[in-house]
Structure 1
Amino acid sequence: MQSVLNALRLLEEVAARQPVGVADLARAMESPKSTVQRALLTLHTAGWIRPAGGTSTRWMVSTKALYVGRSATGELGLRDIAVPVMEELRRATDETVHLAVPEAGNIVLIERLETSKPVRIILPLGQNLPAHASANGKAVLAASSDEAVERHITDGLTRFTETSIVDPRLLRAALAEVRLRGYATNAGEWRSDVSAVAAAVLGDAGLPVASLSVNVPTSRMTEDSRAAFGAAVREAAKTVSEALRRTRGD
């Protein structure tokens, strides 16, 4: 039983840190490298993880893990509805489009459609995005209850870059702006090379169940393109929200 629990904990660590190597996992789990290596091979044989970049020195979760997670939370239905809308959004912007869902205080990337441009934003599926320092996260927070926002603030606002919002008053003001214009922005607040716009997908009682985003290298984002992408993602999220409510009979 303990070996099963250790393997499950290791899977969680891989998902949180991916792509990640044996040494980092051993430190995180406070276990010998040989023990971690055996557990990694077991998870790989079972199809739960895969080598990152084709090398077995670094690991990331597989689509099997993502599929099970989606099934547990009903995200397969969300994805089926969202992907066609995401395709339209990608065609309209020719930039990378993400679908993310809130989970345990984080925002988790569950689908990605990539731009045709050679310089692009590439994040792995299953990537955790900080709620206060990503466009997807701020879109979700802005559509959440005041209590949910305050809980996130109480948990602490981590600084990732010079533009990260770590003052609670500034974050509340930024979320108020998101509510007014209908989409959130990220100007290198999580990673300096990543900029994005995002809008929340709303479900029951108007609460956020996901977010859609257009993701652009910071060097390619202009004020004009940010506004255009924002308007496009706002309409796309509205379309997904309406379709999701119809499907669920709301």
Structure 2
Amino acid sequence: MSTALTALRVLDEVAQLQPVGVTTIAERMQMPKSSAQRALKALEASGWIRQTGPGKGKGKGWVLTTKAIDIAQRVAADVGVREVARDILTELRDATGESVHLVIREGNEVVIIDVVETVNPTRIYIPLGTRSPLHATATGKALLAHMEEPLRSEILASGLPRLTDSTITDPAHLDAELRGIRVDGKCAVVKGELREDIGSIARPVFSRSGMVVCAISVFVPMYRFPADEGRICQALTHAARQISARL
């Protein structure tokens, strides 16, 4: 059995049984304990698993890290979402009169994968492929609010750089805002947190299994930021549900 195949099989065992010890894995896979231990250490070194609990006893063993969640979300987000969403994004642009962005998450950033520009001659152009920090964008907040708890906590703890005077840099403050988005069903809203001249409102898009895979936003220059946020949020909610249904 190749080393890579052994590691993958061990990873699968950890995913099913976590927290699990090396003895249990060796017995289930009918392999020497030393071989199982080497595979576990290799997976730990590559960031896939970690040990929990000091010493011995219940709760001690190997568990998955958030890397597995991260990879799963990237794969789900990459399955034709741009093609699926394009006409819905155009309808959203027409309904709101403002530019619409479709983004996915990569690490601690959002990446714009599609843009439908407003017909308004005064606009702020943000090109495809632009990366922005999760904590300072409406789409980023929408994704953060609905992602798995271990990964969200890890991202909030990694640092929230200040980009403008309005940027939220306190993890507790941001976590409270995310809770309102998640629990109360609010749209994510940013006013001048990424750039002082930019505002946006966003909603997440979910896969059939309920995993958040991408987000959509209505993107507005701050000088004409909509007073009717409720109407924009309603249009975003409808568009996000349409994309989710197609996925």
Match of 2:198 among 191, 194, 198: 194
The match for 1:132 is: 135
Q: TM-score, normalised by structure 2?
A: 0.66
Unpaired stretches in structure 2, ≥5 consecutive residues: 1-74
Match of 2:57 in 1: none
Structure 1's unaligned 5+ residue stretches are 1-71, 245-250
Q: Greater helix share, 1 or 2?
A: 1
Deviations 1:22-61 (Å, cap 9, x if unpaired)? xxxxxxxxxxxxxxxxxxxxxxxxxxxxxxxxxxxxxxxx
Residues 102 and 217, structure 2, Cα contact 8 Å, conserved in 1: yes
Check conservation: 1:182, 1:234, Cα contact below 8 A: no
Which consecutive segments of 4 or more residues in structure 1 shift more than 6 A? none
Cα distance in 2, alignment partners of residues 73 and 125 from structure 1: 20
SS at match of 1:107: strand
Equivalence map 1:53-72=2 (5 Å)? none
Within 2, Cα distance between the matches of 1:234 and 1:121? 23
> Which residue among 156, 168, 178 is the counterpart of 1:175?
178
CA distance in 2, matches of 1:84, 1:162: 36
Q: 1:74-126 CA deviation, whole Å, 9 max, x = no partner?
A: 73611111001101101101100000001122110000000010111211111
The share of aligned pairs that are identical, in percent, is: 37
Q: 1:142 to 1:89 in 2, by over 3 A?
A: same
Q: Which residue of 2 aligns with 1:15?
A: none
Q: TM-score, normalized by length of structure 1?
A: 0.66
Amino acid at match of 2:185: R
1:121-170 CA distance string (max 9 Å, x none): 21111111211110010000011011111111111011111111111111
The answer to whether structure 1 residue 90 and structure 2 residue 96 are counterparts is no
RMSD over aligned CA atoms reads 1.6
- Is 1:117 the counterpart of 2:120 in the alignment? yes
